[in-house]
Amino acid sequence: MNINRMILRRTLTLCAVLPLIHAAVSRAQVSVASPDKQVVATIMVDSQGHIRLNVTRKDQMVLAGSTIGIRVDDKDLGSAAVLGTPEIRNIDETYPMHGGHSVARNHATESIIPVTSGGQTKWSLEVRAYDDGVAYRYRVPGSGARQVMGEASEWVVPEASTIWFQPHNNRKDYEAPWATAALAELPKRLAPKPPATTANATPAPATPTPSRTVLAAPALLKLPGEAGYVMMTEANLVNYSDMALEYTDGGRFKAFFHNDVRGFQLKDEITTPWRVTLIAPDLNTLVNSDLIRNLCPPPAPELASADWIKPGRSTWHWMVVGRPVFDDQKQWVDWTSALGFEYYLIDDGWKRWNAGGRDMWENLKQIVDYAAEKNVGIWAWVDSKDILTSEVRQAYFERARALGIKGVKIDFMKPANTEWVTWYDETIRDAGNAKLMLNFHGALRPTGRERTYPHELTREAVRGRENGKQPGAHDTTLPFVRYVQGAADYTPTDFRTGPDAKTDKLKGSSYAHELSMAVVFTTPFLCYGGAPENYLQNEAVDILKSIPATWDETRVLPGSAVGEVAAFARRKGQDWFIGVINDGTARSLPISLSFLGQGKYDIVKLADSADRHDAFVRSQAVVGTGDTITVDLRKDGGFVAKLTVRK
């Protein structure tokens, strides 16, 4: 996408404290309201001198008395604090994006609050209020080596909430299954099981319950009653340590740095990532939020106008055959071309190619050249250990680009402490200089930096189809939490079936469930995990071939519920697609077509078969904006429809 062709509107206004933007200040309190005045963040100093944060939406409490603070060089900057007069900034800009919609709006009120701690240490707290949330970060001046010992940053939420979360059992790749619990039951859900004993054996001492209940970020909450949803996370993670969420009790979460529990060293001025509270009255607002990306800087001009950054769809051999066999690669390219996909990803194993006495690069070049004749671009896999240093990495990227490679999939990163977070950023910059697109696999979850570096098309950081068929409750949670955080490489849609458990890859999923994931799960590098020959032989191949990698508009449809049903309508140009993913309970779902424009549409429907999980029920009709269709969903089933303007 050429970003210079898009309309860019940006207003950054520095001003005094004006009633116009509802910023009020006293010695102990600053309030910042969102542009629509519905979300208000109030920063105050309590009677003990600690900084606290309250957040309300429509006068309903979202966060109550949440502590704010950071400990730097043995100084607790959140205590003995005095707030100064804030500088207020109004932000209003639009920018293009690759994802669930094509244009994002960054509209916020920002308050930069000077703080003095302990009578001498001066720093600033930057707070933004958006219509869909609140974020803040710390900026601590200084020079030389600095030691960050942790943060007091908290989210104190209503304890009667329900939470969807990933247990903290994998610190590097965010591939744990998603789960849900009543918030009050969370510590019990995550407590370790006692060790097993055998008959007549002396029981082993009980393992003490750890003092920490830690979740990965993001985590999603449904507040009591009709108060809506809150997502707790971070944005713009740069030169810092990856944040998790420690839960104590009473609805209290705290920022926890699971990869640097003893603190970490930085240099010079410290600017932390944003601590984010995304607030949504409904699932449509949640899914369409740009808050996380909005908190990241815009791209450099050379990336904003880069014509080599091209989202697209890809085939991939790994789930089907494992390591790539050189003699089979032209067939894979042919399949990709027949599907009309833009890319073919060659995964781990191509470095072993030595056919014809040629080295791996020469053999890869043969496939790249053949693919170019078929209008297919090649992506290539690399292990992160092979490109650890900038010198080696730059040479590797330049060679790949000279060969004609379009993108690189980087795998097996370590847990994201400060050193590895810096490695990610340097690697993304080096890839951009070489004009290569990126996909990080086995990776840290995104934090909005794809706005700054639009050539990073996706990351894994999800338990996807490579791990086999996932529970319907997992698949119907992802669109409302993980995909709100950013694109994810789930590698969807596996149609392979067989007579036994080894060959039947559906394992209870349905064809419609598998296809609907390509509509519901957004990623600008839409890498299909199934066998392309199965796609080409399937009665739904025409619809599969037409599903795009990016969208112009997204609507979450009524009837959607986190962990139960994900029903989405997405538009590309004038065409609409409906994708529905169901959990483990069969149900009937009415879908209003009120999102359509005027006139009539031809609809092709691909529904679950009541008798077989490896078949579609295909039908066609003419519909309009006043119509409603009813979809019967089997257990772990789904539904897909394509609607085109009737000629």
pLDDT for 271-297, tens place per residue? 999 999 999 999 999 999 999 999 999
Nearest to 550 by CA among 581, 577, 513: 577
Tokens (6 digits) for 398: 């330049």
The SS3 assignment for 325 reads coil
The SS3 assignment for 206 reads coil
Exposure on the CB side of residue 32, measured as CA atoms within 13 A: 27
Mean pLDDT score of the chain, rounded to an integer?
93
Mention every residue, 6+ apart, whose C-beta is less than 8 A from residue 248.
213, 254
What tens digit of pLDDT does each residue of 359-385 get? Answer: 999 999 999 999 999 999 999 999 999
What tens digit of pLDDT does each residue of 515-561 get? Answer: 999 999 999 999 999 999 999 999 999 999 999 999 999 999 999 99
The structural domains of the chain, ordered by start, are 3-190+209-295 (2.70.98.10)
Q: For the chain, what percentages of helix, strand and coil (3-state, to nearest 5) are there?
A: 20, 35, 45
User: Rounded to an integer, what distance in angstroms lies between the CA atom of residue 271 and that of residue 476?
Assistant: 36
**Phi, psi of 543, rounded to the nearest 5 degrees:** -75, -45
Q: CA 426 → CA 259, 264, 396, distances in Å?
A: 19, 19, 14
What tens digit of pLDDT does each residue of 402-433 get? Answer: 999 999 999 999 999 999 999 999 999 999 99
DSSP state of 386: G
- pLDDT under 70: residue ranges of the chain: 1-27, 169-171, 189, 191-211
Tokens (6 digits) for 365: 């070049």
Residue 203's pLDDT is: 38
